[in-house]
Amino acid sequence: MKQIRFNANTRLSASATTLRTGSTGKVATSMIAAMLIIAAGTTGCSKKNREVAVNSVSQNNPIQGVTVPVAPAPSAISTPSVSEPAKPKKVAKKRPATVTYNEANYGISFQYPRKYTLKTGEKAKLNSDAIEFPINFVQPGGATIAAVELPANSYLGTDFYSAFLSASVNRNLTDEQCRQFAEPALAISESIVTTPEQSDAKPQSPAVTNEGKSPTKVSIHGTDFWQVESTVEKTDTKYFHTFQNGSCYEFALGLQTAEPIDGIDPVNRDEVFAKMEKILATVKIKSEATSEVAASTAGHPTDGSH
Answer whether residue 306 shows pLDDT above 50: no
Segments in 25-174 forming alpha helices (H) = 25-60
Q: What's the pLDDT band for 8 if we cut at 50, 70, 90?
A: very low
**Average pLDDT in the 54-74 region?**
51
* Of 12-26, 140-154, 239-253, minimum mean pLDDT range: 12-26
Which helix (H) or strand (E) segment holds residue 121: the answer is none
Angle of helix 25-60 versus helix 8-21 axis, rounded to 10: 170
CB pairs under 8 A, 24+ apart, for 267-274?
Answer: 267/155, 267/158, 267/159, 267/160, 268/155, 268/158, 269/236, 272/150, 272/154, 272/155, 272/160, 272/163, 273/238
What digits encode the pLDDT tens for the residues 197-207? 433 444 444 43
Beta strand extents in the chain (DSSP E only): 98-103, 108-113, 117-120, 143-149, 160-170, 185-188, 208-213, 216-220, 223-232, 235-244, 247-257, 284-285, 300-303
Answer whether residue 123 shows pLDDT above 80: yes
Answer whether residue 256 shows pLDDT above 70: yes
- Strand 247-257 vs strand 284-285: parallel, antiparallel, or unpaired? unpaired
Residue 148 CA to residue 160 CA, distance in Å, equals 16
Q: Cα torsion for 128, 129, 134, 135, to the nearest 10°?
A: 60
What digits encode the pLDDT tens for the residues 279-294? 999 999 998 754 454 4
pLDDT number for residue 74: 56
